[in-house]
């Protein structure tokens, strides 16, 4: 049992930090390099991860991990329902549209509809991010019960970019505006050159958030004067997804 738990621990660490090398995994997990290396080779042999890089080996998840995750949850149903409204939002804004769901204390990307523009953002399916650093994640966080917010914000937040807000009280101070406007704005908090406007997709009763929906774009195309319009469109799309549930 300990071997299985250790292997899953390594797999989750790869998912959080990919592409990642043995040394970094050893530091993150507090395990010896030999133990990490042994588990990595076992996961690779089973088809869960694969090596990348040339100078030294780094590891990343394979499509198998995402596929199994989707089969083991209700996310597939949500993705099917959300895909058409997401495409319509992409066509309206000509920017990339993303859909995230909660996975423990983080958000995980389960669907993406890419912009048609030559310069566009790319984020891999299965990417895991803290709640406060994406527009959809912050919108979800703002609508959770206070005790869940406290549990999420109690986890230290890494300074991903110079704009990342890591202070829990400063994050919490943004909630009233997110609730009032119905959307959140992210200017380079997750990635320096990426901005986004997002909202929460609510359950059919409007009681709790079930996903985060975002319009994502390069910082070069972000225009503060267009934020209210983007916010209106992403809210309408989230409402359309809720109506289909």
Predicted confidence at residue 117, as pLDDT, reads 84
pLDDT tens digits, one per residue of 151-198: 999 989 989 999 999 999 999 999 999 999 999 999 999 999 999 999
Give the Å distances, CA to CA, from 132 to 50, 175, 201: 30, 10, 16
SS3 198: strand
DSSP category for residue 51: E
Is 111 found in the same domain as 46? no
- Note whether residue 217 is domain-resident: yes
The H or E element spanning position 131 is: none
Tokens representing residue 149 in the block: 């917010």
Is 47 found in the same domain as 156? no
- Note whether residue 34 is domain-resident: yes
- Note whether residue 68 is domain-resident: no
Is 142 found in the same domain as 39? no
CB 95 within 8 A of CB 211: no
pLDDT confidence bin for 67, thresholds 50/70/90: low
CB 168 within 8 A of CB 153: yes
- Note whether residue 86 is domain-resident: yes
- Note whether residue 211 is domain-resident: yes
Give the Å distances, CA to CA, from 47 to 11, 24, 64: 11, 21, 7
Is 77 found in the same domain as 28? no
What is the arithmetic mean of pLDDT over 135-150?
95
Number of domains into which the chain is organized = 2
Is 29 found in the same domain as 82? no
Q: What is d(CA 30, CA 33) in angstroms, rounded to the nearest whole number?
A: 9
Enclosing domain of residue 52: 2-62
pLDDT confidence bin for 231, thresholds 50/70/90: very high
Is 30 found in the same domain as 57? yes
* pLDDT at residue 140 greater than cutoff 90: yes
- Note whether residue 91 is domain-resident: yes
- Note whether residue 67 is domain-resident: no
Give the Å distances, CA to CA, from 60 to 71, 141, 191: 20, 28, 19
Question: Which among 238, 187, 200 has a CA at the least distance from the CA of 101?
Answer: 200
Q: What is d(CA 212, CA 228) in angstroms, rounded to the nearest whole number?
A: 18
Q: What is the CATH number of the domain that holds 44?
A: 1.10.10.10
pTM: 0.72
Q: What is the CATH number of the domain that holds 104?
A: 3.30.450.40
Predicted confidence at residue 54, as pLDDT, reads 60
The H or E element spanning position 170 is: helix 168-172
């Amino acid at each position: 049992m300990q071997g299985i738990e250790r292997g899953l621990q390594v797999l989750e660490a790869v998912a959080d930090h990919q592409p990642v090398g043995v040394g970094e995994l050893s530091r993150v997990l507090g395990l010896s390099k030999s133990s990490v290396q042994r588990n990595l080779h076992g996961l690779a042999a089973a088809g869960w991860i694969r090596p990348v890089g040339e100078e030294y080996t780094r590891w990343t998840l394979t499509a198998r991990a995402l596929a199994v995750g989707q089969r083991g949850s209700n996310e597939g149903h949500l993705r099917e329902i959300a895909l058409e409204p997401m495409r319509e939002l992409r066509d309206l804004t000509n920017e990339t549209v993303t859909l995230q769901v909660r996975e423990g204390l983080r958000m995980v990307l389960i669907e993406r509809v890419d912009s048609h523009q030559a310069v566009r953002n790319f984020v891999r399916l299965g990417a895991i991010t803290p709640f406060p650093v994406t527009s959809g994640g912050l919108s979800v966080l703002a609508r959770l019960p206070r005790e869940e917010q406290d549990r999420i914000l109690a986890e230290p937040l890494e300074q991903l970019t110079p704009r990342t807000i890591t202070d829990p009280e400063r994050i919490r101070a943004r909630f009233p505006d997110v609730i009032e406007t119905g959307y959140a704005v992210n200017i380079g908090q997750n990635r320096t050159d990426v901005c986004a406007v997002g909202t929460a997709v609510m359950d059919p009763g409007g009681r709790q958030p079930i996903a985060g929906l975002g319009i994502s774009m390069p910082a070069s195309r972000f225009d503060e004067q267009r934020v209210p319009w983007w916010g209106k469109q992403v809210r309408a799309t989230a409402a359309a997804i809720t109506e289909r549930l």
